[in-house]
Structure 1
Amino acid sequence: MTNACYFTVFKAFNFATGVARQSLSSNCNLKSPFKCSFRKMHMEINKESDSRGALIVLEGLDRCGKTTQCSRLLSHLEELGHSVESWRFPDRNTGVGQMISSYLANKSHLDDHAIHLLFSANRWEKRSLMESKLRSKTTLIVDRYSFSGVAFSSAKGLDLEWCKAPEKGLLAPDLVLYLDISPEKAAERGGYGDERYEQLEFQKKVAQSYRTLCDSTWKIIDATRPVEDVEKQLKQIVMECVLTCQKGKPLSQLWEN
């Protein structure tokens, strides 16, 4: 697939999103004698129907412990009887994901802009299923999401706002857990260096990009502590989020403003 194809896909995403928004806006402005009644009926729907699963994202540098903690959170919520699934991006089982996997394993080479759009497309591939799962009251524990895509690409020198643009319209997490560890400490952990991005100097740039993206809604977790201590802290934070979503917290989109 050529770079032109990637940008064509990107433009198609923007076009489709624009059409959907225009359609929604038109439908909302229709004059109807039943408009007020419909709104009243909607507000009278049992609160239970608004209950949903939580979208919980774990972020951080390579080898910070995300995968381990995702697995432990999954087991914890299952033991409590919650419907829960563990997801990971990139999802290497999709067509786009297989291209990304080849790139990360240094088996192929792509322009930095092209691989960024592929990572974004990989998340868009799962967007509809993600919303369906959440509305069916399944909580998703996600290992990396849009923030990783933006942090890693901007660390290569790409414009931050350009990197964020194709992510707009994806679902916004209810909770972002950032496992904080220095690049030097992460480099000491087993398996470091197996993939393309696991290089100390580059990870330092990624850490700086993450600091730019971090806001007050993120929870910063000291990932240098013992695994069990990190797990205990995460469990408490996650349960609060899950209960909030069960009460009917509305879904929102990334970087709406």
Structure 2
Amino acid sequence: MTSQSQSASTRRGALIVVEGLDRAGKSSQCEMLREYLSKGGNAVKYIRFPDRTTPIGQLIDSYLRGSANQDDHSIHLLFSANRWELAKSIEQDIASGTTVIVDRYSYSGAVYSAAKGNPTLSLDWAWLPEIGLPRPDICLFLSISAEEAAKRGGYGAERYENETMQTRVRELFRSLFGRQEDIAVIDAGKSLEEVSIDIQSVVADCIGRLDATGPLRTLGPLAK
């Protein structure tokens, strides 16, 4: 085996996060991206947050379906804890050369909690438990209006799927992303195939820059 082959075999994977309003097409695009990367010879893993299979995830699932109530602060910390449950395995997968695609991550966690309008639960407060989690190499934000999202199938099935909440969430995403790096805004109002092609282009560029990026980083405090 040549030294070049050895380098390729030990190259770390990328951490790719897909965010957006509810019904923006995140899950479909994650599946299409996984297929695209797999066909290109990449080892790929797909994760969705919240992970509803864990004990913490089951509490979150009950809350999201409206069958349980929680204090705003405590449910936020449960969402964060759910991400911390998988942090180590994400780091290990990436170190072994597997690219990890994540459907919803810390950005959603902070924004959806802050969007409730609780005066003691600001965006800055909501971000604090996320500090130290693996930092995405790229965060893809699927941009769609709240009105357009409401027209898509299944909308309204869960607690946060209403136009008022989604409009507030969109504004907070904009505020958060203005204080973060490595964010790519994707027009999700296009066809499924067009959105997928746009995503593939951004992801290919991200993976191509991994050597320059260096080791997987961690999320830090929000920029002022």
TM-score calculated relative to the size of structure 1? 0.79
Output the amino acid matched with 1:65.
G
Deviations 1:57-82 (A, max 9, x none): 00000000100000000001111111
2:34 paired residue number? 74
Give the number of the structure whose residues are more often helix, by fraction: 1
CA distance in 2, matches of 1:49, 1:255: 29
- Alpha-carbon RMSD across the aligned residues, in angstroms, is 1.6
Q: CA deviation at 1:244?
A: 2.3
Query: Which of 37, 56, 65 lines up with 1:96 in the alignment?
Result: 56
Q: CA deviation at 1:245?
A: 2.3
- Structure 1 segments (4+ residues) deviating >3 Å: 46-50
Output the amino acid matched with 1:233.
D
CA distance in 2, matches of 1:53, 1:246: 10
What SS does the aligned partner of 2:210 have? helix
What SS does the aligned partner of 2:209 have? helix
**2:188 maps to 1:223:** yes
CA distance in 2, matches of 1:47, 1:78: 19
Corresponding residue pairs, total: 212
What SS does the aligned partner of 2:141 have? strand
Q: Quick check: 1:53–1:133 contact (8 Å CA) kept in 2?
A: yes
Q: CA deviation at 1:248?
A: 6.4
Determine which structure has more spread, i.e. the larger CA radius of gyration: 1
Query: Which of 124, 132, 135 lines up with 1:161 in the alignment?
Result: 124
Residues 130-149 of structure 1 mapped to structure 2, 5 A cutoff: 130-149=90-109
Output the amino acid matched with 1:55.
L
Residues 29-178 of structure 1 mapped to structure 2, 5 A cutoff: 51-157=11-117, 158-178=121-141
CA distance in 2, matches of 1:249, 1:181: 32
Q: CA deviation at 1:240?
A: 1.7
Q: Quick check: 2:30–2:46 contact (8 Å CA) kept in 1?
A: yes
Over 3 Å counting, the alpha-carbon distance change for 1:49 and 1:227 in structure 2 is closer
Over 3 Å counting, the alpha-carbon distance change for 1:183 and 1:248 in structure 2 is closer
2:210 paired residue number? 245
Deviations 1:199-220 (A, max 9, x none): 1101111111101111352111
CA distance in 1, matches of 2:9, 2:26: 32
Give ranges in structure 2 of 5+ residues lacking alignment. 1-5
1:40 paired residue number? none
**2:173 maps to 1:210:** yes
1:35 paired residue number? none
CA distance in 2, matches of 1:137, 1:224: 33
Deviations 1:140-196 (A, max 9, x none): 111000000001001012211110110000011000100000101100101000001
CA distance in 2, matches of 1:163, 1:149: 8
What SS does the aligned partner of 1:191 have? coil
Output the amino acid matched with 1:214.
F
What SS does the aligned partner of 1:254 have? coil
TM-score calculated relative to the size of structure 2? 0.90
CA distance in 2, matches of 1:234, 1:117: 31
CA distance in 1, matches of 2:211, 2:195: 24
Query: Which of 144, 156, 160 lines up with 1:197 in the alignment?
Result: 160
Percent of pairs with identical residues = 48
CA distance in 2, matches of 1:133, 1:164: 25
